[in-house]
């Protein structure tokens, strides 16, 4: 006996809401990743060989800013994915409701073989 999966539009919308909350969590997490603000916390570190113009502390700050920028891009991508997934779930719930309504209006029983 084959079992047909049941789809529940209310459950889909509930899950959509949960997924859309993840969008907000990603945005919040992104805002907390600030990198270095203000004075360089690494201080004025000079290269051990006293190479003119090279400051390892400035390179560390630049690297951290680059890392922050790339992570912000990842958080943005994840947030947009959650937003679009929530929208797709809501659209699926809407389609299920419309299909159920259409089926109610167009179902015709020609004999007693279907007992509801």
Its domain, for residue 12, covers: 8-32+55-94
Domain count, the chain: 1
Q: Is residue 37 part of a domain?
A: no
What pLDDT, on the 0 to 100 scale, is given for residue 76? 95
Closest residue by Cα to residue 79 from 40, 27, 29: 27
Q: Is residue 48 part of a domain?
A: no
Q: Is residue 1 part of a domain?
A: no
Q: Looking at residue 90, which CATH number applies to its domain?
A: 1.10.287
Tokens of 68: 């922050």
Dihedral sign, Cα of residue 44, residue 45, residue 47, residue 50: positive
pLDDT over 70 at 6, yes or no: no
Q: Is residue 87 part of a domain?
A: yes
Q: Is residue 41 part of a domain?
A: no
pLDDT over 50 at 106, yes or no: yes
pTM (two decimals): 0.64
Q: Is residue 84 part of a domain?
A: yes
Q: Is residue 105 part of a domain?
A: no
Do residues 93 and 19 make contact, with C-beta atoms less than 8 angstroms apart? no
Helices marked H in the chain? 9-32, 56-106
d(CA 63, CA 92): 43
């Amino acid at each position: 006996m084959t079992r047909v999966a049941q789809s529940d539009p209310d459950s889909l919308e509930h899950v959509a809401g949960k997924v859309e909350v993840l969008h907000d969590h990603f945005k919040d997490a992104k805002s907390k990743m600030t990198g270095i603000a203000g004075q360089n916390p690494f201080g004025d570190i000079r290269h051990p060989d006293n190479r003119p113009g090279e400051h390892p502390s400035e390179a560390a700050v630049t690297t951290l800013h680059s890392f922050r920028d790339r992570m912000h891009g990842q958080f943005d991508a994840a947030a947009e994915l959650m937003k679009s997934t929530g929208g797709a779930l809501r659209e699926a719930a809407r389609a299920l409701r419309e299909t159920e309504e259409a089926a109610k209006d167009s179902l015709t029983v020609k004999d007693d073989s279907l007992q509801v």
